[in-house]
Amino acid sequence: MKITVLLVLKYNPEGSDPTILANASDVTHFGYFQRPSVREFIFFVGRTVEKRTPPGQRQSIQHEEYKVHSYNRNGLCTVGFMDDHYPVRSAFSLLNKQAYPNNSCQQKKNRVCS
């Protein structure tokens, strides 16, 4: 089970390219001179998947040896590139926590969150 890239993108409904707000990537298993082009290609695929994910929806797409999981919620889209063996439920849980890290604390009014 391996996570290659996690992206947070801002959804633009007018059809323009989404804005990448944050990214974390591990492309060390690619050759040194291939890494910049691999990162660009992953950003391209991430933007394309984000454009095709309607607001409020989740989807998983098979792309070569990767599963691309996408979750668009309230105009904030998280995209993860993971291998085939990564569990889908865990992937979407991670994408939800990545976009909204304090969501569980906001629902519990009596607890203090750090």
CATH of domain 3-107: 3.30.450.50
Whether residue 97 is predicted with pLDDT greater than 70 in this model: the reply is yes
Tens of pLDDT, residues 32-54:
999 999 999 989 998 998 888 88
Q: Where are the domains of the chain?
A: 3-107
pLDDT of residue 111: 52
- Which whole number is the average pLDDT over 65-69? 89
Bridge partners of 24?
Answer: 6
Please tell me whether the overall predicted TM-score, pTM, comes out greater than 0.85 for this model. Answer: no
